[in-house]
Structure 1
């Protein structure tokens, strides 16, 4: 194997450990692209690797950090990644993830001859508690991987709702006259017992509407894992994402392999990390999808920060119609993590009067609180005034 091919494979492993979905196909594509450009042109070299190994705009920052660190010394591709004059904790999030993913990166060891220090961990926060409270935006690559594993373990058993159908039940609360008469025909018309039935209950449909615009891209990346986990855990889940337009990703998220599912989402999603038109997206959902997916007491999770690029035009009317079409409209807003949050943006003010709940979503604890709320059989929500 040539040195260039070996370095490409090593670079792909660095990107993969940093959280980018890079596999053999991307490495082969990069090798093919490099065969058509002069390798001495560093700008063309970077552009070729970015075009073949990166599929999302929000991954550009991680890729650029990895490229600058990995390819700065072609003779030593396994050198320590972190800058010598800057501690790892002081680096930006993208650079910190790349530094941890670089080959040869190891935690500092105890110098020879120095006695090992023992720390008293009493009254301190455990790693799990810290991970549960840590903001998704501040997580390192290793912490994001641990958060994704925790999200995959979440179960969302929505409280069951009665349907119009009935099933036979010997201890059911209702008498089944038709079944009773059919049974009596076998006995010559004599009624030996009264057949009974019970109303069928089942969890309501769940609709997920996630904002993937530029202001939400950091959170949308991890919340897509939550949407994937929910879609593979229960039936009747309908997933949509929106930026400047609405995209149905329900079929793509049904794949059990999250990487395959997200690759499919990347291919059908035209406006990741772009602008935001919440009003147009909700209006399109009401027009095309509401009657198909909002029956039988559906619950809608609207994941957005409420920052509408279009100045909230038509957003209030669309949100009002959506709230009237579902049983519960829950708004998950990462901006609520700030203690001094105020609804000053026009989009936030337009949405607030029409949602049943306004909850924060920025860490694992907020997702677990959401799961607990949806799993409980709460009161029947009335339409917002």
Structure 2
């Protein structure tokens, strides 16, 4: 019978291997591969069965469990080569490389095995990340903006549920006469038990109107990436339009899973990038042509610099507020100290807005996503 020290060494080695595997999954998420918690757990179990000391076994265990499609394979190969030093996975590795962990976590698996210097580096990085979360997107460097876009791509936005008119089988609820009768006929006329039904629940629809005019140029790309995160989470309950001098539906372009590809398609679809702003006319066209605003949460992302008639915008906002469940206006300038909504467009729209929020930073987008989950 093995002694307690040997069992303790085995448990420690297993914990180190698990920390290495989960660190590799975090590296993949940073590269855009959807290696979520369930896939990571499947990877750890598969590597345990196949043998964590065998590089080929670890490679194929990760490839079959962490990758969601063919587009992930090139990124997976690059990350595997960089993380495991080319070809070999070493069970004695106690923690992911600092360059990988620093980008992601302040407190994750295997934190107790890290050296004090590494823990200090992680704490400093977590503090820097928190500062970056609240920094204005328009004042960021290209590298910082890229990091914010990567974090937005991992955003998981929950959605408020609503009761549908359709019914589904349920243990409790109203009597379902059709299913009860079919069950009775299958049993030769004897009623075994009464079947019941209840209304289904569906995510509430969210409609985003993103201003892509010249005054919104520093924020438009980040707002569209936030819209991509919402579409990715609920593709059937999200609609996205760009407004400027023309109204353009972008939902189909944003349904691509890869954020970079989706943004390329969006750029090709929008004909009025950095143009003027005619919010009143575009909102009227939206309400005349599309019926998706009824009962939905409508989010308008704009600074309110209306070049058309502000009274038309006020009329259409009143019309929208009667149709939608709630109207949320996102203005990037609201996050700045001392901001006051003095433009004609904002003054015409605000009486019909249910919530007026900022949209200038990653923290503001996270707060908006949380608001949509309870709208």
TM-score above 0.5: yes
Aligned partners of 1:253 and 1:226: how far apart in 2? 10
User: Does the C-alpha gap of structure 1 residues 124 and 213 become closer, same or farther in structure 2, counting only changes over 3 Å?
Assistant: same
Listed as ranges, the matches of 1:235-254 within 5 Å are 235-236=235-236, 237-254=238-255
For 1:184, what is the secondary structure of its paired residue?
Answer: helix
Q: Quick one: distance in 2 between partners of 1:313 and 1:352?
A: 12
3-state DSSP of counterpart to 1:267 = helix
- Asked whether the 8 Å contact 2:235–2:255 carries over to 1, the reply is no
Matches of 2:286 and 2:343 in 1, distance apart? 23
Q: Answer yes or no: is 1:301 the counterpart of 2:299.
A: yes
| CA gap 1:142/1:319 in 2 versus in 1, 3 angstroms | same
Query: 2:158, 2:370 within 8 Å by CA — same for their partners in 1?
Result: no
Q: C-alpha displacement at 1:123, in angstroms? A: 10
Q: Distance in 2 between matches of 1:138 and 1:197?
A: 54
Distance in 2 (alpha carbons) for counterparts of 1:124 and 1:204: 37
Separation of aligned partners in 2, 1:177 and 1:165: 15
Partner of 2:202: 202
Q: Could you tell me how far 1:362 is from its partner in structure 2?
A: 0.5
Q: Does structure 1 conserve the Cα–Cα contact (< 8 Å) formed by 2:311 and 2:348?
A: no
The alpha-carbon deviation at position 224 of structure 1 amounts to 1.3
Deviation by residue 1:116-161 (Cα, 9 ceiling, x = unmatched)? xxx9999998111111111001111111111011101111110110
Partner of 1:175: 175
Residue 212 of structure 1 corresponds to which residue in structure 2?
Answer: 212
Measured in 2, the distance between the counterparts of 1:121 and 1:261 equals 32
SS in 1 for 2:256: coil
In structure 1, the partner of 2:330 is 332
Are residues 192 and 147 of structure 1, via their aligned partners in 2, closer, same or farther at CA, if it must alter by over 3 Å?
A: same
Which segments of 5 or more consecutive residues in structure 2 lack a partner in the other structure?
A: 1-119
Q: Could you give the per-residue CA deviations for residues 168-222 of structure 1, whole angstroms, max 9, x where no partner exists?
A: 11x2222112221222223343322111111100101221100011111101121
Specify whether residues 120 and 208 from structure 1 end up closer, same or farther in structure 2 by C-alpha distance, changes over 3 A only.
closer
Match of 1:349 in 2: 347
Say how many residue pairs are matched. 255
Task: Report how far residue 288 of structure 1 moved.
Answer: 0.7
TM-score when scaled to structure 1? 0.63
Structure 1's 188 and 256: CA in aligned 2 closer, same or farther, altered over 3 A?
Answer: closer
TM-score of the superposed pair, with normalisation by structure 2: 0.64
Change (3 A) 1:125 1:255: closer
The within-5 A match list for 1:1-385 is 126-169=127-170, 171-236=171-236, 237-289=238-290, 291=291, 293-295=292-294, 297-376=295-374
| Alpha-carbon distance in 1 for matches of 2:160, 2:126 | 33
Aligned twin of 1:11? none
Deviation at 1:266, TM superposition (A): 2.1
CA distance in 2, matches of 1:330, 1:173: 35
Per the alignment, residue 36 of structure 1 pairs with none
Give the Cα–Cα distance (whole angstroms) in 2 for the partners of residues 189 and 122 of structure 1.
70
Secondary structure, in 3 states, of the residue corresponding to 1:358? Answer: strand
SS of equivalent residue, structure 2 residue 356: strand
Report the structure, 1 or 2, having the larger helix content.
2
For structure 1, the residue ranges without an aligned partner over 5 or more in a row are: 1-118, 379-385
Supply the distance in 2 between the matched residues of 1:359 and 1:298 (Cα, whole angstroms). Answer: 18
The 1:189/1:316 distance shift into structure 2, 3 A limit, reads: same
